[in-house]
Amino acid sequence: MDATPPTLDRAAVVTDPTLSGLALCQALARQMDGFVADLYAHAGSPPGVALVAVGGYGRAELSPQSDIDLLLLHDGKRDIAPIAERIWYPIWDAKLKLGHAVRTIKEALALAGDDLETATSLLSCRLIAGDRDLADELTGKALLQWRKKAKRFVASLARTVAERHVDAGEVAFLLEPDLKQGRGGLRDAHAIAWADAADLVVLPEDDAAVRKAYEVLLGVRVELHRVTGRLGDRLSLEDQDAVAERLGHTDADELMRAVAAAARDIAWASDEVWHRIDAVLAGPRLARLTRDKDLGHGLVLRDGDVHLHNDADPAQDPALVLRAAVAAARERTRIERKSLERLAVHAAPLPTPWTPEIRELFASLLLAGEPAIGVVETLDRKGLWVRILPEWDPVRCRPQRNAYHTYTVDRHLCVTAANAAALADRVDRPDLLVVGALLHDIGKGHPGDHTVVGIDIVGRMGPRMGFGPEDTAVLQTMVRHHLLLPDVATRRDLDDDTTITSVADEVGDLGTLYLLHALCVADSQATGPAAWNGWKAELVRELVARAAHVLAGGAVSEVTAEGFPTSAQLERMAAREQVVEGAGDQLLVIAEDRPGLFSRVTGVLALHGFGVLDANAASSEEGMAVEVFRVTSDVGPPIPWDGVVRDLGAALDGRLALAARLAERAERYGRRAVRTPAPLAPTRVLFDNSASASATVLEVHAPDAIGLLYRITRALADLDLDIRTAKIQTLGAEVVDAFYVLGRDGAKITDEQHQREIERAVLFAVSA
């Protein structure tokens, strides 16, 4: 026995440019085999003991940052602890993540009998060193036990798979997919293999496709580990460019399409495996209780699936594909795979224009809501969806490179349509609502402004789909203005007459307004958590109510009556009383009017980690100012105002080094307020003198950062600009700040040179 234990140089393998994907994993496994085998020999190579790799290491698929899972198997005839220590400690000393266990065969099988994770790990046992007979006995008995208890094990595995999909989402359709745990990910391929080992069903003939797809995802995971230097399976936006470059893709979008294609192959096979297993687990009793249900028009519900009748003729019935899809969505099931193949091979093309029946079936599919998403995915898998909508091809699995979208373009459109279906009772034309929802971002598959492109595409699609000129125009309006309500509600003053009248003029009629409102809700909810919250919902509802009043013939002045400052606030201003009061989510400040007052308040709020949603400001002829801020806080409710009130009092009295404190906070927490997972758009400063009759609207689009609002408003104060209203919107790692400002003379900013100086000051403040 050597006096010095062996050493390991993993970096030589990890950094080898000739190795990638499965080949790298296998090379790392071989290297690790040699290392731990030497450790076993260093421990004395005792009889009746076997060192066994399990899990991913057992499969010889060792990614650069993977755990090393080892089982020290023994016959129970000797003290195993000293042997284990001689093996485990050098592995820990090598800074490796070790999963380890010491068991007899009886102990291992007993634990595996009650624990799914242990049971599946033993299915990939691989001897590294020691007693082969002992290891083979465990492997054989573990497989025998798995098959003996197959129904219980596989039922538990099915539940685990379903729960994992809910937690991790879908690899093919998420912008930051979990390569391992997501639906269509590596773990689904493992689960297929474990289900196959149970020998309950004949697996679908997708093995070669699944293996190829698996190696694609494994290769991406390997490069993710190389890029980040840490264990992880979520392919974040910030890492995609580097991973794409290492794998030879032209860009991150190409990488993500490859990931999506692989995940779709695995998910397709996985769905079929679990469908077959569910039928076995349900047993013959359920089959006897379930009778065929004639759905009419060549369709029957049999064994829970939608089947084509034997005498159905897809070649003579162009509506049959959509009829089957609607039936599957309404029954919350799927189109049986052989029937799907018949449709894929023999379905007749749709007529141009669509017949009323086909158009109604299409709308009915979308109005089925969430169940329609899986049906659309199935049709798309077999090339049937793109026959219905050829325009779908450019948006399939198309990433959206920003921090606030959750899904790829195609899945975002499907989820938006499903969300819209739940809002169908709000509108007079549910069919236009769901079709408009499905197509609102269809232009994202092409270069240029996706809205402009989408308007043109929908203008051509509408007539082909059988919509008349008026309905096509409404669909185009939905595409043109799908962001109108949320943008105006969060960036404009709803108490300004111009805001309400401009929205009413753009929309044109009440029916379209309500369609846009429902689309706004559905689209925002499908975008991600940063795009929709109670505050935005409240603002949009208020905007819609006011615009509806005007469209119904009411006077705009009836819905934009000035409520600021209130009479109570005016009285306190007249008394020249300094007030700093926080209540609920609002902060009231009354103080002597001075340059930079607004920025001091925003600075103190930033110092305490508060975000500003909106603010209003006014001043009196007597030199007093009132400002009301609506804020968000990660603390509370209730919001802890005491510290803010104290520090703001000090700031107003000139006793707080605000700029220095904010710089320290930014240094402490990192410059950016949030991580920036995708390339950020350049800062933009926009001026709009048509949005308000009384003020210039200054819009700033910039990366979010600690103290950003303070720096911008201080820059505006340095130029003697008077902020009357501010609307602050955060979209992931970016912000859109809108300020209603007046010049020193109390007038709008119309001089172009003046605007350029303001832009220069704001850009400097953002970059500071």
> Measured in whole angstroms, how far is the alpha carbon of residue 576 from the centre of its chain?
50
Q: Does CATH place domain 389-556 in 1.10.3210? A: yes
Classify each residue of 283-319 as buried b or exposed e, where b means 16 or more C-beta atoms within 10 Å of its C-beta: eeeeeeeeeeeebeebbbbbebbbbbeeebebeebbb
Q: What is the reported pLDDT for 506?
A: 96
Q: Given the structure tokens 């230097």, which residue do they identify?
A: 229
- What value does the mean pLDDT of the chain take? 93
pLDDT category of residue 288 using cuts at 50, 70 and 90: low
Q: What is the reported pLDDT for 636?
A: 67
pLDDT category of residue 207 using cuts at 50, 70 and 90: confident
State yes or no: pLDDT of 449 exceeds 90: yes
More confident residue, 77 or 681: 77
CATH class of the domain whose range is 11-148: mainly alpha
The percentage of the chain sitting over the pLDDT mark of 70, rounded to a whole number, equals 97
Q: By the 8 A CB rule, do 273 and 180 touch?
A: no
Angle between helical axes of 534-551 and 497-507 (0-180°, round to 10): 70
Instruction: Look at strands 579-583 and 734-742 and give their pairing.
Output: unpaired
pLDDT mean over 243-255:
97
State yes or no: pLDDT of 768 exceeds 90: no
In the chain, domain spans: 11-148, 152-289, 389-556, 567-767
pLDDT mean over 150-161:
96
Q: What CATH number does the domain located at 152-289 have?
A: 1.20.120.330
Q: What is the reported pLDDT for 680?
A: 66
685-694: pLDDT as tens digits? 999 999 999 9
Helix (H, G, I), strand (E, B) or coil at 143: helix
Instruction: Look at strands 68-74 and 49-53 and give their pairing.
Output: antiparallel
Q: What is the reported pLDDT for 597?
A: 93
Distance from the first to the final alpha carbon of the chain: 64
Instruction: Look at strands 68-74 and 98-104 and give their pairing.
Output: parallel
Most confident range (mean pLDDT) of 154-163, 560-569, 607-616, 704-713 is: 154-163
34-55: pLDDT as tens digits? 999 999 999 888 899 999 999 9
627-640: pLDDT as tens digits? 999 998 877 678 88
Q: By the 8 A CB rule, do 175 and 188 touch?
A: no
Phi-psi region of 12 (alpha: psi -120 to 50; beta: other; left: phi over 0): alpha
State yes or no: pLDDT of 742 exceeds 50: yes
Q: Given the structure tokens 């197509």, which residue do they identify?
A: 439
**Helix residue ranges per DSSP H, 673-751:** 708-718
State yes or no: pLDDT of 199 exceeds 80: yes
**Residue 687: strand pairing partners:** 698
174-184: pLDDT as tens digits? 999 999 999 99
pLDDT mean over 300-329:
96
Kindly tell me the burial class for residue 705, based on how many C-beta atoms sit within 10 Å of its own C-beta (0-12, 13-18, 19 or more). buried
pLDDT mean over 654-661:
91
pLDDT mean over 459-485:
98
Q: Does CATH place domain 567-767 in 3.30.70.260? A: yes
Q: Tokens standing for 743?
A: 């010049």
Kindly tell me the burial class for residue 12, based on how many C-beta atoms sit within 10 Å of its own C-beta (0-12, 13-18, 19 or more). exposed
Maximum alpha-carbon separation in the chain? 97
Q: What is the reported pLDDT for 673?
A: 47
Q: Tokens standing for 502?
A: 């401009």
363-380: pLDDT as tens digits? 999 999 999 999 999 999
Q: What is the reported pLDDT for 1?
A: 47
pLDDT category of residue 682 using cuts at 50, 70 and 90: confident
Q: By the 8 A CB rule, do 70 and 51 touch?
A: yes
Q: Which amino acid is at 521?
A: V
Measuring CA to CA, how many Å separate 203 from each of 191, 263, 374, 576?
Answer: 12, 18, 21, 82
Q: What angle do CA 76, 32, 74 make, to 5 degrees?
A: 5
Q: What angle do CA 624, 626, 627 make, to 5 degrees?
A: 145
pLDDT mean over 592-618:
91
Q: By the 8 A CB rule, do 704 and 733 touch?
A: yes
131: CB partners within 8 A, 6+ apart: 47, 48, 49, 50, 73, 75
Phi, psi dihedrals of residue 391, rounded to the nearest 5°: -70, -10
Spatial strand order in the sheet of 49-53: 98-104, 68-74, 49-53, 126-130
